[in-house]
Amino acid sequence: MLYWSTTKRNCTISKFIHLSSKKHKKFRLLLDAAFAKSSIFKRLQKKANIKHIVFDLDLSSQSSDEEIYDVASKENRFVVTINYKDFQKKDNFMKKIKKY
């Protein structure tokens, strides 16, 4: 609840407390097979919702980039990967499809 007082200083402090208490949505990340288990990234888990392809989603470590891309798009996640060039090609391809 926002508390309004007569003094300007108290008003801004109470407004800050109200705004800082709001929960923010976490980023939704999908880790590629090249990364360790998502439980290793303790500090990142506080800021993001992390899933790992192999350990959390039970996909093969040899899953194709298309499978990973499909899972990420279905779950509205960002893909965290080392071979980003393959995903850039797929993203451009998907943009071309959406135009038609």
Per-position pLDDT tens, the chain of length 100: 344 444 444 444 444 455 555 677 888 999 998 899 988 999 999 999 999 999 999 899 888 888 888 899 999 999 998 877 766 666 554 554 444 4
92 lies in some domain: yes
19 lies in some domain: no
73 lies in some domain: yes
What is the model's pTM? Answer: 0.63
Instruction: Supply the DSSP symbol for 38.
Output: G
CB atoms within 10 A of CB 23: 5
Q: How many domains does the chain have?
A: 1
| Domain containing residue 41 | 24-99
8 lies in some domain: no
Residue 27: both structure tokens together: 């980023």
59 lies in some domain: yes
Distance CA 99, CA 37 (A): 37
Distance CA 83, CA 63 (A): 13
